[in-house]
Structure 1
Amino acid sequence: MIRKILLSVAFSAASLTALSQQVTLTGAGSTFAAPLYSKWAFDFKQANPNVQINYQAIGSGGGIRQVSTGTVDFGGTDGPMNDAQLADAKGKIHSDILHFPTALGAVVPVYNIPGVNAELKFTQDALAGIYLGKITKWNDPYIQSANPSVKLPNANILVVHRSDGSGTTFIWADYLSKVSPEWKGKVGVGASINWPVGLGGKGNEGVSGLVKQTPNSIGYVELVYAVQNKIPYGQVRNSAGQFVKASLASVTEAAAGAAKNMPADFRVSITDAPGAQTYPIASFTWMLIPRSIPDKAKGAALKEFLKWSLTTGQNECEGLTYAKLPKEVINREAAAIGTLQY
């Protein structure tokens, strides 16, 4: 017991020493999580003036590439790395990369239909059909039947998707693959996919901008971008047959089952999760953290930032329309932090 106390004191002293040095951490990746990480970087610096955190929102694909080559200290992604990517990264930086969930978010269908101010409802078949290029008019029966009280125009649907490697795309495609066998067979899941139809925008910002300025368009973005840009977004029918709007409660509901059955490496999909009140296009977002970092001062600062994000930082989530992590997940992550070799 005394030895444990001494180790704890020594660890705390080492961390304080490291944070007393000027350290700059660089991260890159997910635009989905960028509003939250930017807020966290600012607030963490207020408490730790010697630590500067710079995060570039370049998309999850870019974040995976950069952390895998040691270009940045940590990555951000909304689609977990696969086994081949993890093995490739280990060969390049001589370290395992660990996934740490940091928050929960939702991807929502956003639209711009002149003269239509109603909150639309989308079925699984409608969303898959639109993005497969099979549903091309706004008043198509697959859309109109779910919105009988809305007068939808006989106008061509302009489909907007991401042009860059994107975790938001991974979540969207993962969902469509679960609800549409045709999508799964023809397109599949990935951060970058071969789109059957549509116009590409870079980042959640790019998709938001294209939808906002293009009449009769539809796109998909992380919830905070829809809210901040005041773009209408629809309800989506879940696996229980209920139309549900993305909210803190409906996203948290999606994570409830995963929290109890979380794999040891935290790589899990929660799209199309069960539950009457569950929003079906939800996901964890992850920080990608190398297990070992040669620069011990950077390593100590990164570890403290990660600990802070799982405790104090969680209080910032809901104000930016992200859901907090379940306590069961945070407890398991605390144990995983102990395996970091710095």
Structure 2
Amino acid sequence: MRVARTARTLLQVATLAVMVATPVVAQDMISLVGSGSNLAVSLYSEWTAEFGRQHPGVQVRYLGLGTSQSLQEIRQGTGDFGGGEIPLSEAQKHGAKSTLIQFPTVVLAIAPIYKLPGKPDLRFSGEVLAEIYLGDIKNWNDPRIAKLNPGLTLPDLEITVVHLSGVKGSNYILTDFLSRTSPQWKSKIGKNASPAWPVGVEINRSEGMVTKVGATPGAIGYVELTYAKRKDIGYGSVQNAAGQFVKASGPGILAACAANEKSLPEDLGVSLVNAPGKESYPLVSFTWIYVPASGLAPARSRALKDFWNWALSDGQEIANRLGYSELPPGIAGKAKQAINSIQ
């Protein structure tokens, strides 16, 4: 009996020790989960981490699973918000359990990247990019490329076309631009987040795109500007709607925003691609967040609104540090109106 009592006592002490040593998760912790495009995943990771430090009662996570997956999870009720570079159609907005609203968070740009001897600063037009991705232009010394780059000696080097597989925001932005500038591309391929590429090497992610292009002499690809800057890979200027060659940069991105600001629709779902204006960079897009307009518990709805309001105010400093372009004040104000309409 004494042995049994001693054993029970030791068990109780051990159990108590485990209880004391094990952190207790607060019962009122609010956890929000979103998923979507990878283009802004580094930014959203920083935002969620910093917001969590400032608001220990709220945990926000963002998973780079792709736009289509995020919309599916919202419809199934397994995700709190989604993200992507494709504005929602009317059918998508009204096809879920709750109507979806969308709002932009930052502005980003897609840049054509390439690997050539001497890192020349190249110029591209939409027509030439389309002909490269259609397989009509096969060599870097093609007269159509040379015409855009007078004074440069282009190498006699075969072009290796690299493109992203699957449904990607980068694909959507690029093919939107090519469809607006090349009748041939528009008729053969069109605007699509998952186009039927006629030529090229397939890569799954933007990180892989940079790696592949950087390791392949003669390769061309396309990535969001922050990827190109982080990896120090060459990227070219692109001819805009005004006929000017503009390199992706903060001023060029904001000029494209300003050109569209007054004509923004109520739901902010507009393409910024090939915006008018001499200074506008043509391959520009918002990245949007998609959220059910209603259906969340009051505390979760409040936490979601608090997070995104913070992201569009204090969080913009983080966006700038990482190389993204923050929303102009007028557009940020409209985005916050959309956020605060969540029930």
1:168 CA drift (Å): 1.3
Q: If the length of structure 1 is used for normalisation, what is the TM-score?
A: 0.89
Q: Is the 8 A contact 1:59 1:203 kept in 2?
A: no
Q: Distance in 2 between matches of 1:53 and 1:205?
A: 24
TM-score by length of 2: 0.88
* Change in CA separation of 1:337 and 1:163 when aligned onto 2, cut-off 3 Å: same
Equivalents in 2 of 1:271, 1:278: separation in Å?
A: 9
Unaligned runs of 5+ in 1: 1-18
- In the alignment, the residues of structure 1 paired with residue 61 and residue 308 of structure 2 have an alpha-carbon distance, to the nearest angstrom, of 14
Shift of 1:20: 9.7
Distance 1:143 1:221 in 2: 20
Which segment is superposed worse, 252-261 or 197-206? Answer: 197-206
- What is the match of residue 16 of structure 2? none
Q: Aligned AA for 1:111?
A: Y
Equivalent residue for 1:22, pick from 9, 17, 29: 29
Change (3 A) 1:135 1:276: same
State the alpha-carbon separation in 2 of the partners of residues 203 and 70 from structure 1.
Answer: 27
Choose 115-124 or 218-227, whichever is displaced more.
115-124
Tell me which of 102, 122, 125 is aligned to 2:124. 122
Deviates more, 1:143-152 or 1:225-234: 143-152
Residue aligning to 2:65: 58
Matches within 5 A, 1:33-72: 33-72=40-79
Match of 2:263 in 1: 261
Q: Deviations over 1:287-340 (max 9, x none)?
A: 111112334333221111111111111122222221111111122223222321
- 1:71 & 1:186 partners in 2: Cα distance? 37
Q: 1:63, 1:71 → 2: CA distance?
A: 9
The answer to whether the Cα contact below 8 Å between 2:242 and 2:278 also exists between their aligned partners in 1 is yes
Change (3 A) 1:83 1:190: farther
Q: Deviations over 1:30-85 (max 9, x none)?
A: 11111211111111112112222221122333333333333321111011122233
CA distance in 1, matches of 2:257, 2:249: 13
* Structure showing greater Rg: 2
Of 157-166 and 50-59, deviating more is 50-59
Equivalent residue in structure 1 for 2:282, among 274, 280, 283? 280
Residue 157 of structure 1 pairs with residue 164 of structure 2: no
Alignment check: 8 A CA contact 2:259 2:277 kept: no
- Which residue number corresponds to residue 113 of structure 2? 110
**What is residue 173 of structure 2 aligned with on the other side?**
171
One-letter code aligned to 1:308: W
Q: Distance in 1 between matches of 2:74 and 2:193?
A: 16
Aligned-partner SS, 1:52? strand
Alpha-carbon deviation of 1:212?
A: 1.8
For the residue of structure 2 that corresponds to 1:239, the secondary structure is: coil
Q: Are 2:102 and 1:99 aligned?
A: yes
Write out per-residue CA displacement over residues 218-249 of structure 1, whole angstroms, 9 at most, x where no aligned residue.
11110000011111111111111111111111
After alignment, is 50-59 or 103-112 more displaced? Answer: 50-59
Q: What residue identity is the alignment partner of 1:182?
A: Q
**Is 62-71 or 189-198 further displaced after alignment?**
62-71
In structure 1, what is the Cα distance between the partners aligned to 2:169 and 2:125?
22
Counterpart mapping for 1:84-95 below 5 A: 84-88=91-95, 90=96, 94-95=97-98
Aligned residues: 318
| CA shift in 2, pair 1:296/1:203, >3 Å | farther
Deviation per residue, 1:122-167 (Å, 9 max, x gap): 1222111111111111111111122233222222211111112111
Range 59-68 or range 22-31, more displaced: 59-68
Q: Is the 2:126–2:177 contact (alpha carbons within 8 Å) kept by the matching residues of 1?
A: no
Moved over 4 A (4+): none
| Inter-CA distance 35–139: structure 2 relative to 1 (3 Å threshold) | same
Structure 2 CA distance, aligned partners of 1:325 and 1:303? 17
Structure 2 residue 273 is matched with structure 1 residue 271: yes
Change (3 A) 1:254 1:177: same
Relative to structure 1, the CA distance from residue 20 to residue 231 in structure 2 (aligned partners, 3 Å threshold; closer, same or farther) is farther
* CA RMSD, 1 decimal: 1.7
After superposition, the Cα gap between the structure-2 partners of 1:132 and 1:26, relative to the gap in structure 1 and judged at 3 Å, is same
After superposition, residues 144-223 of structure 1 pair within 5 angstroms as: 144-223=146-225
Whether the 8 Å contact between 1:139 and 1:155 is mirrored in structure 2 is yes
**Alignment partners' CA distance in 2, 1:305 and 1:329:** 18
Distance 2:109 2:287 in 1: 10
Secondary structure at 2:148's aligned position in 1?
coil
Q: Choose 231-240 or 327-336, whichever is displaced more.
A: 327-336
State the AA in 2 paired with 1:324: E
Q: Which amino acid aligns with 1:73?
A: D
1:109, distance to aligned residue in structure 2 (A): 0.2
Aligned to 1:82: 89
